[in-house]
Chain A
Amino acid sequence: GAGVSQSPRYKVAKRGQDVALRCDPISGHVSLFWYQQALGQGPEFLTYFQNEAQLDKSGLPSDRFFAERPEGSVSTLKIQRTQQEDSAVYLCASSLVGDNEKLFFGSGTQLSVL
C-alpha cells in the first residue's frame, strides 16, 4: 500500500476486555515497529520485528501485551485484560531493513479503556 495502515482508528474497551490492533506496513518494508504514545508525550518503543521474527520486545510494559507478525507482513498487537493505564495511541511504523532508513508511521489506534 501507499502508507502504513492501522485499524481500528479508535477503540473503546471496558476494563478487563481483550483488544487486538492491526497494522499493515508499507509493501516491501521488512522492519515493523510498535510504539505507544501517551497524551502530551512522544512515542515510546514497544517492540520490533524483522520479517516474522520478533527481535526486540523490551518495551512491552507487561506480559498482558503480545505482538505477532506470522507471515512477515501484517502485524497484530494484542492487549489482554485491559487496564485504564493502557489508554494511549498505539502507533505502528515500518522501514526498509538496515540502520539508515527513514521510519514511516501509521495514523495510530487511539485506545480508551473505561
Chain B
Amino acid sequence: GIQVEQSPPDLILQEGANSTLRCNFSDSVNNLQWFHQNPWGQLINLFYIPSGTKQNGRLSATTVATERYSLLYISSSQTTDSGVYFCAVPLTGGGNKLTFGTGTQLKVEL
C-alpha cells in the first residue's frame, strides 16, 4: 500500500517563528489533506490540496503531485498552533478512505 512519511517528527518553536513541515508519499494521489490535532484530540481539517498552493491566514500548503510531496508552512507561530500535524492520502484510488502519515509533533513556546 501507499506509504506516507512526514518530517520532522518533532519540532519546538519560539512564538513568532516560521516553520515548514513536509509530507512524502510513495504513489500518485488525487486527494491530499492536512490536519491539525490539538492537545485535546480534536482533528481539524486545514487544507484539501491534491496539487498547487493554498493559503489560509498564517498557514499555507503546497503539493507537488508529480514529485510526490506536500509542504505545510506555518508563519508567525502561536502557542495555539501546538499539537500534531498529519497529512493524509487515499489508501486506494480516491475518496476519503485515508491513510495518515506519521505526524509532526509541534510545540510552540513563549
Secondary structure class of chain A's binding surface, majority of residues: strand
Secondary structure class of chain B's binding surface, majority of residues: loop
Give the interface size bracket for A toward B: 20 to 34
B8 at the interface (CB under 8 A from A): no
Nearest to B4 among chain A residues (CB) is A42
Given contacts A102-B45, A105-B42, are A42 and B97 in contact (CB under 8 A)? no
**CB-defined interface of B94-105 with A at 8 Å, one 1/0 digit per residue?**
111111111100
Contact B43 A102 (CB under 8 A): no
A95 at the interface (CB under 8 A from B): yes
**CB-defined interface of A84-114 with B at 8 Å, one 1/0 digit per residue?**
0000010101010001111111011010000
Contact A42 B86 (CB under 8 A): yes
Using a CB–CB cutoff of 8 Å, the interface residues on chain A facing chain B are: 31, 33, 42-45, 48, 56, 89, 91, 93, 95, 99-105, 107-108, 110
